[in-house]
Structure 1
Amino acid sequence: MTTDTSPTLDEFERAARAWISTHVPQVDDDGADLDVAVFKNLDEKHERELVRREAAWQQSKTAAGFGALGWSTADGGQGLDQRYETIVADLEHEYSAPVGHELVMVTVKLVAPTVRLFGTDRQKEELLSGFLDASELCCQLFSEPGAGSDLASLATRARREGDSWVISGQKIWSSGAQFADWGLLLARTDPDVVKHAGITAFLVRLDTPGVQVRPIRQMSGGSSFAEVFLDEVRVSDQARLGAVGDGWSVALATLGFEREVSDGSAGVGGSWEQVRDLAESSGAGSDPLVRQRLARIYTRTVLNDLSAAADAARRSEGVDVGATGSLRKLQWVALMREIADAVTEVLGDSLVADTGRPGSYVWGDHVLGSIGYSVAGGTDEVQRNIIGERILGLPSEPRTDRGASWSEVRR
């Protein structure tokens, strides 16, 4: 919440521009091609350097007073509203600041606010500042091979032994886990109650004995995801985040924060401007069918921007946008797929065979990756269910496991 002593938007924009314009690190890209990847397509060395560079930028930005703008001063923030955060984000884009890796985003925008809500005083004191400035990085350890869209069916177990918990199980699709220091983990602590009630959340250091992280090779070539195996991993009860059995509330909070940032503002994948430039440089811009596609992409881009601005204005007034985040994610995914369809039509064979034509073959990283965001962060079907139930007031879908304990459900 802004106060009478807060800078005006114009004053803040001038100060932020002056600082960002002189502090964005210059990077030698060694003649790198256009980057339109949805998921990072880098080898381990280069992706690690990307994470390091972005985390360093977050630390510099926070030290200069341009991080955690919407947080209260008591929690290490600046006590400003969403409009100030939008100014910084726009300037970062304008000056090509090193932002966009999902691990840093998860740490700063998902895990940190979750710890602020559910953490003990000790957890906040020891962890919150490190998560806010990305000097400590934390991935999500939520999804499992048998629990993706139905996350509450997770089977990773945590049993209590005195003042400790012993955790065993497997997590999958954890973005950046191989570069993370911590994992925000959900585990089943009571199998004899309904599935949503028997889950507890933990903050687990990934160098704890028994934790093994294995990167997953994606069809686009990169390995930005990982699967994480936990074999009798022992953690203190002080690693627990929230009350025993209250892990579903922790998960809902984290997923709510995720929906708030799933609007494409992080610059994931190709953009309207890049597709337009591709059509012009290839000569396809004169094709009436391509022009129709370009018009749809432009329209979606403008509508997404207007929706994001409206949401930011509501947040600045203290209004919780809630399930609207599901609408925004569906809008963003539709835009990415529209872009994928357009570049597929424009490039043809140049999309699947590296002919040496600049700015062509690289678009495969967008086309292949765009499919993934119909699943990542909650499938399209899950988002539609949320919209139907929480915005339209429709009845929830029938469930065969309603009222049954997790251990009673057939698998």
Structure 2
Amino acid sequence: MSEAALREFRAQAREWLHANSTPLPRTDSAEAAWGTGSDDVSVFHNLSHDDERALLDRLRQWQRRKFEAGYGALEWPEEFGGRGLPPEFEEAFAEEERAFDTGGMHELLSVTVRLIAPTIRLLGTAEQRQRFIGPLLSGAELACQLFSEPGAGSDLAALGTRAVRDGDAWIVNGQKVWTSGAQFAQWGELIARTDPDVPKHQGMTAFLVPLELPGIRVRPLRQMSGGTSFNEVFFDDVRIPDSLRLGEVGHGWQAALTTLGFERGASSANTGVGGSCAQAMALARHTGADRDPLLRRKLAEVIIADRLADIARARDEQAQRNGEPLGALGSIRKMQWVRRMSGISEFVTAALGPRLVVDSGEWGTYAWGQHVLGAPGYRIAGGSDEIQRNIIAERWLGLPPEPRADRGTAWRDLPR
């Protein structure tokens, strides 16, 4: 579409946002932002159960309002409630939306809209697409990932939750862990072992699971940052109809890779998790760290990484407009994003000293502890650093794959 059409779209989106939300205060610099509004820079929510549910309810209402107005699924085909617009329109709306108070963000809504719904679009039956995509894209229903297990995290293909065929249904037993938002989700995308007699990558199948089914128990896990975003999910003789199988029997690994591919793409574009470069600059001015030679160097590294991220984002958006898949570049971007968060942690830790661990009530100081404690979690979430490096080495650099002693060995015969 033409530049004129994009400008007209921006104007319409801005008008709609003004009518349906509240503009954020405009600031000309990071210094002007100090001491105003919320000082929350958490990576993972540290909220009570009721407060977190209330946050999700507000975000779902906003997603529904966007979806009904035609802004919630701009790139999706009209048959799914979208408008079939090119990626630059999605980018333009996101840019305009960032200037308004839309309630924040929550990982479960992002997983629902950006990961699970696109996976169903690619792998689901016509009936599944009709049943799920609209409710997921509108936020009417939420879905989590039921992938990782206590003995299968980075080596996801080693998972052992079993699904056994029983007529027109499957009986599931096992445990999942680190499941973000499971306590608030209505559905889960489950990867389970359906054939233990073939190599581990070949014997899995994907399912869409209603989390209200008998035999499912969700138990939140307390994180060191204080919240309970993660959960354990237990399956005890849970009966899932075959109509909720996602993809072919034995193709669960392909389903998992599809979802994880969307996850890496979402991580590479993430700009709203934890503290920002601008907030770190404001902190530097407040504490005087910008006048300390050693701390100025750390701050400079944060600023340089932030500027490079802007350049990388622009390049990736252009590649997307040209129809080029993100591929293994998503792993590079994910690692760069995590490194930027870690760089901010290193700077604020040095700049604040004891104020980072003593809650004196001073605005914008102790709150940074939520960023420092939460940032390391993304070295694991969405695929650990080690897994990302393997993907980059093998798929981007063309290096030989790591030797695998379990190649060709049935899952049942693997040591555990």
- Same fold at TM > 0.5: yes
Aligned partner of 1:20 in structure 2 is 17
Q: Aligned-pair distance for 1:33?
A: 4.2
Aligned partner of 1:395 in structure 2 is 400
- 1:156 lines up with 2:161 in the alignment: yes
- Could you report, residue by residue, the CA deviation over 1:335-386 in whole angstroms, capped at 9, with x for unpaired residues? 0000000000011001111122211111000000001100100011111110
Distance in 1, matches of 2:125 and 2:74, equals: 22
Distance in 1, matches of 2:256 and 2:64, equals: 26
Aligned partner of 2:28 in structure 1 is none
Distance in 2, matches of 1:286 and 1:172, equals: 45
Secondary structure of the 1:13 match is helix
Aligned partner of 1:271 in structure 2 is 276
- Could you report, residue by residue, the CA deviation over 1:97-134 in whole angstroms, capped at 9, with x for unpaired residues? 22421000000000000000011111111111001111
Aligned partner of 1:239 in structure 2 is 244
Distance in 2, matches of 1:390 and 1:117, equals: 22
Q: Aligned-pair distance for 1:264?
A: 5.2
Aligned partner of 1:167 in structure 2 is 172
**Structure 1 runs of 4+ with >3 Å offset:** none
Q: How does 1:3-402 map to 2 (within 5 A)?
A: 8-24=5-21, 33-263=38-268, 265-402=270-407
Distance in 1, matches of 2:9 and 2:87, equals: 13
Distance in 2, matches of 1:99 and 1:195, equals: 39
Distance in 1, matches of 2:205 and 2:22, equals: 41
Q: Aligned-pair distance for 1:85?
A: 1.0
Range with bigger deviation, 107-116 or 43-52: 43-52
* Residue identity opposite 1:12 in structure 2: F
Distance in 2, matches of 1:156 and 1:148, equals: 13
Distance in 2, matches of 1:352 and 1:384, equals: 33
Distance in 2, matches of 1:37 and 1:233, equals: 36
Q: Aligned-pair distance for 1:7?
A: 7.0
1:351–1:364 CA contact under 8 A, matched in 2: yes
Secondary structure of the 2:101 match is coil
Q: Aligned-pair distance for 1:71?
A: 1.4
Secondary structure of the 1:373 match is helix
Aligned partner of 2:27 in structure 1 is none
Distance 1:25 1:146, change over 3 A: farther
Distance in 2, matches of 1:238 and 1:12, equals: 40
* Residue identity opposite 2:177 in structure 1: I
- Relative to the length of structure 1, the TM-score reads 0.96
% identical aligned pairs: 52
1:33–1:362 CA contact under 8 A, matched in 2: no
Q: Aligned-pair distance for 1:25?
A: 6.2
1:99–1:266 CA contact under 8 A, matched in 2: no
Distance in 2, matches of 1:7 and 1:69, equals: 18
* Residue identity opposite 2:196 in structure 1: P
- Relative to the length of structure 2, the TM-score reads 0.95
What are the ranges of 5 or more consecutive residues in structure 2 without an aligned counterpart?
25-35
RMSD: 1.6
